[in-house]
């Protein structure tokens, strides 16, 4: 017999997305000026990375999150790669991060031939735990002339990358404080966090650099894309330079002064991004209302719900339920898929993937407990909320 709680969840979800079958986990909504702006890029012939929408998107984004600089790039992954490179991660370094994340976080570290060290998450935020980082550094950090070294691996600890998981802010002030004590730069993986605040300040602006994603499944999309933000003028200039093949500005000569990347966001993508940013407040309002519905449902049927952490304002990008054990989680996912509701398991822990299995970890008590019990449930902005806005 099917667990009656499963049907309660599916009934709730169907009521949110009455005209969708199957019901996807998260799809974009284009209810603004996307078509108009896209047509403008074609008319102007500025489709590639020189074009006014890129600057406008960057300026609007920087103002929205409260950052001094914003650099638009081709993906969140590319943004993480550049950010880590710019803060000084080099081949053979260690980088502290969390095991519960999308694979891009660990991949970006590995692109620089550095080594992820996976430390535990907090149970409420699902983000990197400042207590776990402090304990690990207390036990393993050795100060040397060129930085802090890891007693376990003999490698330099070159950066720390916390993730604002599912859009819930990590305890970023405490993380930044611990890392500052050891002089370790912080790169915030805020890929999922656009619209999320910690103690009134936007995520991504606490660390040396913050990185956002505009992949098709994120709260705002550009098709594919990312944004790197920083308060630091020198870092911003260096990231911009690295993103445009390290080309030295010159009217007709091609001069490149280091190995750079072709990571600059094209104007067509920025056109979509600008139109999407204009709708972000509506998207956030609907997601908050949807999350309230999930919270009430979860309370009613006695299932865990990943909620806004204390002191934070979450964007509720992706709602998550927490089942009592892995078997129930798997039974729910199987049933939901049979019924056309495309809920998903949380990511397999990075430390359990073949390419990262040998990386150092702490005990990962919370991550190992939570990951196999979490499910992400459909969280797209609801169509009827956009229709109401247009009608009103």
Ligand X SMILES: *Cc1c(COP(=O)(O)O)cnc(C)c1O
Residues that bind ligand X (CB under 6 A): 75-77, 101-102, 104-105, 163, 189, 191-192, 213, 215, 226
Closest CA to 114 of 354, 359, 364: 359
Closest CA to 158 of 175, 177, 134, 141: 141
To ligand X, the closest distance from the beta carbon of 11 in angstroms equals: 29
To ligand X, the closest distance from the beta carbon of 276 in angstroms equals: 14
Tokens 């611990």 sit on residue: 178
To ligand X, the closest distance from the beta carbon of 102 in angstroms equals: 4
To ligand X, the closest distance from the beta carbon of 128 in angstroms equals: 12
Separation CA 7–CA 30 (nearest Å): 31
Separation CA 100–CA 171 (nearest Å): 15
Separation CA 268–CA 27 (nearest Å): 20
| Structure token digits, residue 144 | 């040397």
To ligand X, the closest distance from the beta carbon of 347 in angstroms equals: 9
To ligand X, the closest distance from the beta carbon of 180 in angstroms equals: 23
Contact 265, 72 (CB under 8 A): yes
Q: Which is nearer to ligand X, 148 or 197 (CB)?
A: 197
Q: Which is nearer to ligand X, 102 or 294 (CB)?
A: 102
To ligand X, the closest distance from the beta carbon of 212 in angstroms equals: 8
Q: Which is nearer to ligand X, 101 or 376 (CB)?
A: 101
Contact 164, 209 (CB under 8 A): no
Separation CA 240–CA 243 (nearest Å): 5
To ligand X, the closest distance from the beta carbon of 165 in angstroms equals: 7
Contact 132, 362 (CB under 8 A): yes
Contact 100, 349 (CB under 8 A): yes
Number of neighbours of residue 5 by Cβ within 10 angstroms: 18
Q: Which is nearer to ligand X, 150 or 222 (CB)?
A: 222
Q: Which is nearer to ligand X, 266 or 385 (CB)?
A: 266
Q: Which is nearer to ligand X, 97 or 385 (CB)?
A: 97
Separation CA 334–CA 6 (nearest Å): 10
Q: Which is nearer to ligand X, 213 or 380 (CB)?
A: 213
Partners of residue 117 on adjacent β-strands = 96
Q: Which is nearer to ligand X, 318 or 359 (CB)?
A: 318
Q: Which is nearer to ligand X, 111 or 305 (CB)?
A: 111
Nearest-CB residue for ligand X: 76
Instruction: Note the Cα 364 to chain centre separation in Å.
Output: 21
Closest CA to 352 of 136, 123, 149, 99: 99
CA angle at residue 189 from 126 to 236, to 5 degrees?
155
To ligand X, the closest distance from the beta carbon of 313 in angstroms equals: 19
Closest CA to 230 of 214, 215, 211: 211
């Amino acid at each position: 017999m099917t667990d009656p709680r499963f049907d309660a969840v599916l009934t709730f979800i169907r009521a949110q997305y009455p005209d969708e079958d199957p019901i996807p986990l998260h799809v974009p909504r284009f209810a603004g000026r996307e078509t108009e702006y896209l047509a403008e890029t074609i008319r102007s012939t500025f489709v590639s990375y020189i074009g006014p929408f890129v600057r406008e998107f960057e300026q609007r984004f920087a103002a929205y999150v409260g950052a001094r600089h914003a650099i638009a790039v081709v993906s969140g992954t590319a943004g993480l790669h550049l950010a880590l490179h710019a803060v000084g991660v080099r081949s053979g370094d260690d980088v502290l991060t969390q095991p519960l994340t999308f694979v891009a976080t660990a991949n970006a570290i590995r692109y620089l031939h550095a080594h992820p060290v996976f430390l535990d998450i907090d149970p409420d935020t699902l983000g990197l735990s400042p207590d776990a980082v402090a304990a690990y550094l207390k036990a393993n950090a050795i100060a040397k002339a060129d930085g802090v070294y890891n007693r376990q691996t003999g490698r330099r600890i070159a950066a720390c990358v916390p993730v604002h998981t599912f859009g819930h802010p990590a305890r970023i002030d405490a993380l930044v404080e611990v890392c500052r004590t050891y002089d370790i730069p912080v790169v915030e993986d805020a890929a999922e966090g656009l619209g999320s605040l910690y103690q009134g300040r936007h995520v991504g602006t606490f660390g040396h650099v913050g990185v956002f994603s505009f992949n098709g499944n994120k709260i705002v999309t550009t098709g594919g894309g990312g944004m790197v933000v920083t308060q630091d003028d020198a870092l911003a200039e260096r990231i911009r330079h690295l993103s445009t093949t390290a080309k030295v500005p010159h009217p007709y000569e091609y001069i490149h002064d280091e190995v750079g990347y072709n990571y600059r966001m094209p104007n067509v993508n920025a056109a979509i991004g600008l139109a999407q940013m204009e709708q972000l407040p509506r998207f956030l309002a609907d997601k908050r209302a949807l999350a309230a519905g999930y919270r009430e449902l979860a309370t009613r049927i006695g299932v865990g719900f990943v909620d806004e952490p204390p002191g934070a304002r979450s964007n509720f990008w992706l709602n998550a339920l927490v089942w009592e054990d892995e078997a129930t989680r798997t039974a729910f996912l199987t049933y939901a898929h049979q019924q056309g509701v495309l809920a998903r398991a949380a990511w397999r822990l990075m430390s359990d993937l073949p390419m990262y299995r040998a990386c150092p970890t702490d005990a990962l008590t919370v991550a190992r407990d939570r990951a196999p019990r979490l499910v992400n449930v459909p969280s797209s902005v609801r169509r009827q909320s956009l229709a109401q806005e247009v009608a009103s």
